[in-house]
Amino acid sequence: MLSGRHIVLGVTGGVAIHKAVDLTSKLVQSGTSVHVVMTHHATRMVTPFHFQTISRRPVVTDLFPEKPDWQPDHIALADQADLFAIVPATANIIAKIAHGIADDMLTTVAVAIGTRCPVLIAPAMNGHMYANAVVQENLSILRRRGFAVAEPEKGMLACGYEGTGRLQSVPRLLEQIAMLLTRQQDFKGKRFLVTAGPTREPLDPVRFISNRSSGKMGYALALAAAQRGADVILVSGPTSLESPYGVVRLDVQTAQEMHRAVLDEAKHADVVIMAAAVADYRPVEFQQHKIKKTEGNITLTLERNPDILQSLGQAHSNQIRVGFAAETENHLENARRKLENKQIHLIIMNDVSRKDAGFEADTNEVTILAHHRDPIQLPLLPKHQVAHRILDQVLELL
Ligand code: PMT
């Protein structure tokens, strides 16, 4: 998987730099060409000569070296990369790349590579720094652009604090590099339709019935499919999220609007994934003016919304359809019933009574159910990793 591939490894000045040395060694042992680019701060922690000996290639540190004859320039490095990884990535490098600053060799290579090949950023820093809103915002920018982030681990940090900020272990980094290299463009030429977010069913000009869906799960799926080469249309209910990079987004409000948009777009889709939390019922009447408070109770009458997935099952026989099951009890039994009734190929069950899974959380723990097969139970993972694992199952079906 790694043999014969070219990896540009950006190394910055973090105390976890020793893992970058080990990673280089493991990559070279598996037949990968590793081109190391170091920042000046990194060279103060480990010498370029050390990386040069291990990678068996010249290490690049300067944008304008005195003896340029043997050094590949930033464009040449970017052109030959099958993957670009930054290990460890400091808060500084994350901020620079998020904002397109190119003031040294490493950041210039990053801008030249853009999203032409998979990019893996492996942050490592003090827990307070990692939790800082500006670092998190910068990482969100990079994720939206399609960069993979090797989420740092929780544990004892070099600074003596306990927290989240520890660079992932070398075996885990190798797994992710291998995964990114194999996944590259495996959905090229396929058209995906993904739904995300809640729907809003209006009662009057200022009130509506809705649910807690943030859109994170659906957006992660749309981004993951686009990263893997698919043409993606995202039909989104109201969310506060920015559009994922490389995805066409159609905004809707109500279940009926989502129904129309999905039926229109599904005609051209090879894969439909419904992660949206669609309201099953809407108020029978929309009051033109704000409903006035009275002394007594009021009664709302609700009517059924169309079941979007079910109507697709009847209309398009040769596309892969994936639904989600948001459950709070009898999880697998209810999910399996939805798999059968909605005539879909996969259903992703999540327990929405949990705080760290389902609605709003950044993580999810799902069980993937298919016909005539044992369920696949995934561990608790960040939603973008869950998205890739779901897409791996879709790929098998395709
Ligand atoms: O958005 P997040 O905050 O990240 O939260 C993610 C999530 C919890 C919303 C997501 O993981 C999820 O579970 N989405 C499905 C929510 C839901 O509506 O589940 P359900 O069990 O009620 O519906 C089953 C399936 O039928 C779903 O794929 C749903 O999109 C679809 N459906 C439901 C009702 C309807 N009228 N038409 C439909 O197509």
Domain range annotation of the chain: 6-182, 191-286+299-397
* Between 86 and 224, residue with greater pLDDT: 86
Q: What does the pLDDT read at residue 165?
A: 87
Instruction: Kindly report which listed range (159-163, 217-221, 321-325, 351-355) carries the lowest average pLDDT score.
Output: 159-163
Quickly tell me which residue has 């030959």 as its tokens: 80
Residue nearest to atom 27 of ligand 1 (CA): 324
346 lines ligand 1 (CB under 6 A): no
Tens of pLDDT, residue by residue over 242-301, are: 888 778 999 999 999 999 999 999 999 999 999 999 999 999 999 999 999 989 999 999
- Residue to mutate (ligand 1; options 194, 195, 200, 213; most atoms within 8 A of CB): 213
Q: Which residues of 35-70 are buried (b: 16+ CB within 10 A; e: fewer)?
A: bbbbbebbbebbebebbeebbebebbbeeeeeeeee
338: Cβ below 6 Å to ligand 1? yes
Determine the average pLDDT of the residues in 52-79.
80
155, pLDDT greater than 90:
no
pLDDT for position 226: 87
282 close to ligand 1 (CB < 6 Angstrom): no
Is 191-286+299-397 in CATH node 1.20.120.10? no
User: Which residue did the predictor score with more confidence, 66 or 382?
Assistant: 382
> How many helices, marked H, and strands, marked E, lie in the chain?
14, 21
Report how far residue 118's alpha carbon sits from residue 101's, in angstroms, rounded to the nearest whole number. Answer: 19
Minimal-distance CA residue to ligand 1 atom 10: 275
Ligand 1 pocket check for 323: Cβ under 6 Å? yes
Q: Is the dihedral of CA 228, 229, 235, 240 positive or negative?
A: positive
* Predicted pLDDT at 316: 64
Q: Quick one: pLDDT at residue 181? A: 86
pLDDT in the model for residue 113: 84
Specify the DSSP class assigned to residue 68: G
Six-digit token string for 173: 């980094």
Residues 113-154: tens digit of each pLDDT: 877 788 999 999 988 999 999 999 999 889 878 788 999 988
Cα separation of 193 and 54, whole Å? Answer: 45
CA atoms of 26 and 32, how far apart (whole Å):
9
Q: Do the domains spanning 6-182 and 191-286+299-397 agree at the CATH topology level?
A: yes
pLDDT at position 68: 58
Packing angle of the helix pair 383-397, 216-227 (nearest 10 deg):
60
Is 21 within 8 Å of 88 (Cβ atoms)?
A: no
- CA-nearest residue for atom 16, ligand 1, is 277
Rounded distance from Cα 196 to ligand 1 centre (Å): 8
Q: Is the pLDDT of residue 69 over 70?
A: no
In this prediction, residues 343-356 reach a mean pLDDT of: 96
Which long-range contacts does 234-237 make (Cβ < 8 Å, 24+ apart)?
234/194, 234/195, 234/196, 235/193, 235/194, 235/195, 235/196, 235/261, 235/262, 235/265, 235/276, 236/195, 236/196, 236/197, 236/276, 237/195, 237/196, 237/197, 237/198, 237/199, 237/200, 237/213, 237/276, 237/277
Q: Which positions are annotated as active-site residues?
A: 159
Q: Which two tokens stand for residue 120?
A: 């893996």
Residue 9 has pLDDT above 80, yes or no: yes
- The number of beta carbons lying within 10 Å of the beta carbon of residue 211 is 16
The atom of ligand 1 lying closest to the CA of 383 is 4
305 Cβ below 6 A of ligand 1: yes
Identify the three-state secondary structure at position 223. helix
Ligand 1 nearest-atom number relative to CA 255: 36
Percentage of the chain lying above the pLDDT 70 cut: 97
Q: What is the pLDDT of residues 193-249, one digit of tens each?
A: 999 999 999 999 999 999 999 999 999 999 889 888 899 999 999 999 988 877 899
280 C-alpha to ligand 1 centroid (Å) = 10
Residues contacting residue 144 through CB under 8 Å, at least 6 positions apart: 223, 242, 243, 244, 245
Cis upstream peptide for 48 (omega within 30°): no
Average pLDDT for 60-69? 76
The pLDDT assigned to 228 comes to 87
Q: What is the mean pLDDT of residues 354-368?
A: 96
Amino acid present at 137: E
pLDDT digits (tens, 9 = 90+) for 97-109: 999 999 999 999 9
CA of 373 to the centre of ligand 1 (A): 22
Ligand 1 center from residue 278 Cα (angstroms): 6
Alpha-carbon distances, residue 220 vs 14, 105, 168, 234 (angstroms): 29, 31, 21, 11
- Give the containing element (helix H, strand E) for 173: helix 170-183
Give the residue among 373, 271, 370, 263 at the shortest CA–CA distance from 318: 271
Mean pLDDT of 83-97: 97
pLDDT band at 185 (very low <50, low <70, confident <90, very high): confident
* pLDDT number for residue 376: 95
Architecture of domain 6-182: 3-Layer(aba) Sandwich (3.40)
Pocket test residue of 199, 273, 274 for ligand 1, highest count of atoms within 8 A of CB: 274
CA–centroid distance, 182 to ligand 1, in Å, is: 30
Number of residues that this document lists for the chain:
398
Mean pLDDT of 69-84: 78
Angle between helices 17-29 and 48-55 (to 10 degrees): 20
Q: What is the pLDDT of residue 315?
A: 65
**Alpha carbon distance 374, 320 (integer Å):** 19
- Give 153 Cα–ligand 1 centroid separation in angstroms: 30
Residue 215 structure tokens: 């859109």
Q: What is the DSSP letter of 46?
A: S
- Specify the pLDDT at position 72: 66
Q: Is 246 in the pocket of ligand 1 (CB under 6 A)?
A: no
Q: Give 67's pLDDT tier (boundaries 50, 70, 90).
A: low
Q: pLDDT band for position 63 (50/70/90)? A: confident
